[in-house]
Structures are given as C-alpha cells and as structure tokens.
Amino acid sequence: MGFLLAFSRKMYLTQYSHGIERRLNAKTAEKLRYTDTIAEYTSQINDIGDPDSPAVRKLEARKAEIEKYERKIDIEIQKLQTQLQAANTEIQSLDQAVQKGVQDSFSLKLA
C-alpha cells in the first residue's frame, strides 16, 4: 500500500473509530440508566414485601421488560467493541506502513 493511501486510510479509520467510541459511550450510559432502573424496581419490590401484590407483579413485569432491553444493549455494546478493536488493529497496521513510507522517502538508497 502506498504511503499516501495508507495515510488517508488511517485518517479515515481514526475518524471512524472516534464515531464508534461515541456510540459505545452512549450505549454504556443507556445501559447504566437501565441498570439503575432495575435496582430501583428491585428495591421497591423488596419494600412492598408481598409477592402476590398487584403492585409487585406490575413492577416485576416492568423489570423483566427493562432486563430484556439491557440484554439487547449488551449485545450492541459487544458489537461496537468488536468494531472498535478491528479499526484499532487496522490503524496499528497502517501506522507501520506510514512509518515505513516515511523511512523509505527519506533514506538514501545506494545501489
């Protein structure tokens, strides 16, 4: 891969990885909100104490729904982490290509 092509690809992947990091941070924050809500519902269920209470059943249903969303977000977070790792691996490879291109451009070749 040529020096300029490697450099351009690296710049693109750097921007791409920053976008992934932003989405990953947003998904992590969303997961934390769901985790807080689950903890709040669990606390309310424990405060009520009666497992046959309609209020407890309603809270447990809401909690189950939120847990389902939380699992979905976990999968999305794993996908984003995999994408970020792949982008970072390619960036490291391109760093080596760019460094080699710079060295080749400025070194004297005696034949």
Q: How confident is the model at residue 88 (pLDDT cuts 50, 70, 90)?
A: very high
Tell me the average pLDDT across 55-70.
Answer: 92
Look at residue 78 and tell me whether its pLDDT is greater than 90. Answer: yes
Instruction: Answer yes or no: is pLDDT of 92 > 80.
Output: yes
Exposure letters 42-55 (e unless 16+ CB within 10 A, then b): eeebeeeeeeeeee
In the chain, % helix, strand, coil (3-state, to 5) comes to: 90, 0, 10
Q: Which residue has the higher pLDDT, 72 or 8?
A: 72
